[in-house]
Amino acid sequence: MVSITSIKSKKLSGEIFVPGDKSISHRALILGACAVGKTTIENLLESEDVLATLNALKLLGVNIKKSKNFWEIRGNGQGSLKSPDKILNLGNSGTGVRLLMGLVAGCDITASFTGDESLCTRPMKRVLVPLEKSGAEILSNDFKLPITIKGNKIPIPIKYSSSLSSAQVKSCVLLNGLTSTGNTSYIERVKSRDHTEKMLHFMGAKISSKCFDNGSNKVELAGLPYLKGKHFNIPNDPSSAAFPSAAALIIPNSEIKIKNVCLNVLRTGFYETIKDMGGYIKFINQKNISGEVVGDIQVKYSQLKGIVVPEKRVPSMIDEFPIFCIVACFAEGETVMTGIKDLRNKESDRIKEMVENLNKFGFDIKSTINSISIIGNKKINPGREIVIDSKFDHRIAMSFLCLGLLMVNGVKVKNAETINSSFPSFFNIMKSLGANLKK
Ligand code: S3P
């Protein structure tokens, strides 16, 4: 067990690179395995979650190796996977397991999936229900891991309308559609991150999406696309960048720049909300790389005002709510977040963990099944070190370490090794900005 302690720090300053984007990294590996020919990946996030997907693909017979600064995949086309001779263990990664289940269900193979203590409690019904429509045979215990899937060689094209706004469910269905002969169609309530659609288009698939007046989004994919191997240069992760950004926003006199970050509008809800609260956030040097907008984020310490977060923005800041709660604790007045029930299904129940742990400091935070409200208070000082258990949730761990940077008696996060699932260099990068962190 690794513990990390953070304690009151002076201003943060400097220029940093956070690691490559986690969502795009998983997809580059999986789609590279489905392409014909060579795919090369630059700036792959080499974190535990992504390496779990990489290892699972190797067990499925995919040829992946690292050469100098690139990862190289020799793909044999969608449907070319073999049945693994071991159970596929995706560790902590919901994205890895849900996307790979979609892929396996569309191939003439059988594979079993499992994960760590946290992943084994997470709901898989959301992907198993649409996958059953494709003709795959699925064995699970109440829709939880471990799960065995016997794929259908020529899957029935899925037509599915989901009540969720989930890029994992959408991507699972689209990956299944790669081996079906007809059109796959998927409707989501509010548009979620669209990296899978963009990458499939870049590789040659016929894929379209259409947003309706009520905010819902329909994606259609033509079956059996010829996917060409490509070069992916992965932009840096805006969800990882949110941690140093948040710390800079709340530590007086801070000013930092985070370079080459993915600024896809379906990922920048946290930054837009901070701007609406009066925070200094600037996106500069924007360019387009392989269909994604990439740029630098400039952040300065700011006096923030509480806000009611618009519900339609929830999918574009879904991973940032834990660290957003920390920022809201330092805003003037009340901040209200609604429509966030799915936070209870993440690596931990994030509503419960944020409320219980912030209460330990004396912050005024309340929740319902679907919401959180916080009244900011810059004067909080619990007068002792506060100990937090990460509960195998990397974002809970990093959020409370950022909060500790304002606490005279510090914050100790237990089971902090979970940070390696998404941001292995968090400790060193934060220290390089001046954060007072100790192992
Ligand atoms: C992800 C989608 C989101 C997000 C997760 C990554 C993805 O999950 O929370 O960290 O890469 O598709 P949901 O699809 O469950 O909202």
Distance from the alpha carbon of residue 167 to the mean position of ligand 1, in angstroms: 6
Separation of 47 CA from ligand 1 center, angstroms?
16
From 186, 212, 233, give the residue that closes a domain.
233
Overall pTM > 0.95? yes
Q: Are residues 191 and 301 in the same domain?
A: no
- Which residue carries 């997809």 as its tokens? 27
Which structural domain range is residue 270 located in?
4-20+235-438
Which residue lies with its CA nearest to atom 4 of ligand 1? 319
216 in the same domain as 246: no
CA of 380 to the centre of ligand 1 (A): 33
23 lines ligand 1 (CB under 6 A): yes
Q: Is the CB of 328 under 6 A from ligand 1?
A: no
The verdict on the CB of residue 167 being under 6 Å from ligand 1 is yes
Residues 292 and 268 sit within 8 Å (Cβ to Cβ): no
Domain boundary (233, 257, 276) is at: 233
Q: Are residues 290 and 326 in the same domain?
A: yes
Contacts for 142 with CB less than 8 Å, ≥ 6 apart:
none
Q: Which atom of ligand 1 is nearest to the CA of 196?
A: 12
Together in a domain, 226 and 267: no
CB atoms within 10 A of CB 303: 13
d(C-alpha 357, C-alpha 14), whole Å: 30
Both 271 and 178 in one domain: the answer is no
Into how many domains does the chain fold?
2
Per-residue pLDDT at 173: 98
Clarify whether residues 129 and 255 are in a common domain.
no
What residues contact 396, with CB distance under 8 A and at least 6 apart? 322, 347, 348, 350, 353, 354, 357, 388, 390
Q: Quick one: which of 178, 93, 95, 94 has its CA closest to 134?
A: 178
The CATH number assigned to the domain holding 13 equals 3.65.10.10
CA 195 / ligand 1 centre spacing (Å): 11
Same domain? For 62 and 127 the reply is: yes
Please give the pLDDT value at position 290: 82
In a structure prediction context, what are the per-residue pLDDT tens digits for the chain, which is 439 residues long? 999 999 999 999 999 999 999 999 999 999 999 999 999 999 999 999 999 999 999 999 999 999 888 999 999 899 899 999 999 999 999 999 999 999 999 999 999 999 999 999 999 999 999 999 999 999 999 999 999 999 998 899 999 999 999 999 999 999 999 999 999 999 999 999 999 999 999 999 999 999 999 999 999 999 999 999 999 999 999 999 999 999 999 999 999 999 999 999 999 999 999 999 999 999 999 999 988 999 999 999 999 999 999 999 999 999 999 999 999 999 999 999 999 999 999 999 999 999 999 999 999 999 999 999 999 999 999 999 999 999 999 999 999 999 999 999 999 999 999 999 999 999 999 999 999 999 9
Say if ligand 1 is within 6 A of residue 185 CB.
no
Q: What is the pLDDT of residue 29?
A: 98
For ligand 1, whether the C-beta of 319 sits within 6 Å is yes
The predicted pLDDT at position 68 comes to 86
Encode pLDDT of 319-369 as tens digits: 999 999 999 999 999 999 999 999 999 999 999 999 999 999 999 999 999
- pLDDT of the residue at 84: 98
State the catalytic residues.
319
Q: How far is it, in rounded angstroms, from Cα 179 to Cα 260?
A: 34
Q: Which of 233, 261, 284 represents a domain boundary (last residue)?
A: 233
pLDDT at residue 69, as a whole number: 85
Domain shared by 228 and 239, yes or no: no
Q: What is the distance between the alpha carbons of residues 185 and 183, in angstroms, rounded to a whole number?
A: 6
Is residue 408 packed enough to be buried (19+ CB in 10 Å), middle (13-18) or exposed (0-12)? exposed
The atom number, within ligand 1, closest to the CA of 27 reads 11
Contact 261, 294 (CB under 8 A): yes
* Mutual angle of helices 238-250 and 394-404, in 10-degree steps: 20
- pLDDT digits over 245-304, tens only? 999 999 999 999 999 999 999 999 999 999 999 999 999 999 999 889 999 999 999 999
95 C-beta closer than 6 A to ligand 1 = yes
Whether 375 and 248 share a structural domain: yes
Confidence (pLDDT) at 222 = 98
pLDDT at position 153, please?
Answer: 85
Residue 291: per-residue pLDDT: 87
Task: Identify whether residues 224 and 352 lie together within a single domain.
Answer: no
Whether residue 252 sits in one domain with residue 121: no
Whole-number pLDDT of residue 199: 97
Among the atoms of ligand 1, which is closest to the Cα of residue 170?
14
- Same domain flag for 229 and 250: no
